[in-house]
Amino acid sequence: EVISVKPVDAEKKRTLSPYVTGNSVLAIKYKGGVLMACDMLGAYGSTKRYKNVQRVFKVNETTIVGASGEISDFQYISNLLEELTTQDFCYDDGCTLTPKEIHAYLCRVLYNRRNKMDPLWNSLVVAGVDPLRGESFIGSVGMLGTSYTDSHVATSFGNYLSRPLFREFQRDDMSLEEAVSLMQEALRVLFYRDKTSINKYILAKVEKEEGVAISK
């Protein structure tokens, strides 16, 4: 009797632990828009391996998504979002996906993968402005599909180091200049206290009139 053995490549593979990871993503509301920030480090374990990693993704003219966790899984999520926006564009109905809808979609994607025992190792932050109502939106999605919305959101160590600052100083009616100053202070604290953090970061904002702007 001949016993056939499947080649190794034919076996299902799962991410058992993340390899190249990004750390904290921060987001706050200000008057007329939302501001998001994260550093550009892709850490290989505790090694600061890649120092030019883009972890903020522009979904459309009203929404951005930032990610901490496994970089390759975030690239997969970015591809899903590109397919979603392409489909939305092909409908040509004059409507675009809102930040709230994209947040709900990502909640379902991550929860679905969690149920398959093959989670995407990311914590995501969705931020944007509703194109019709002009309302700012910030929401977070964990790797198990858990989610919440607030006026300020942080992932990873930012939950412990940055959110206390946000709770004390963030206001929904603060100016852009005040929001940038607060965000820079939060990033400074992270750089001092978090070993997998560097002093090179991205700032991104979304406003109803000006749309999405991401720093270089």
Q: Which residues of 205-214 are buried (b: 16+ CB within 10 A; e: fewer)?
A: bbbbeebbee
- What is the three-class DSSP state of 138? strand
The one-letter amino acid code at 117 reads M
Active site residues: 15
Instruction: At 103, list the tokens.
Output: 């947040």
The one-letter amino acid code at 53 reads V
CA distance 89 to 123: 27
CA distance 108 to 35: 25
The H helix count followed by the E strand count for the chain is: 5, 13
Q: Are 40 and 52 in contact (CB under 8 A)?
A: yes
Question: Where are the extended beta strands (E) located within 104-200?
Answer: 122-129, 136-141, 147-149, 152-154
Inter-CA distances, 85 with 113, 155, 186, Å: 21, 25, 32
Q: For residue 32, which of 181, 204, 156, 207 has the smallest C-alpha distance?
A: 207
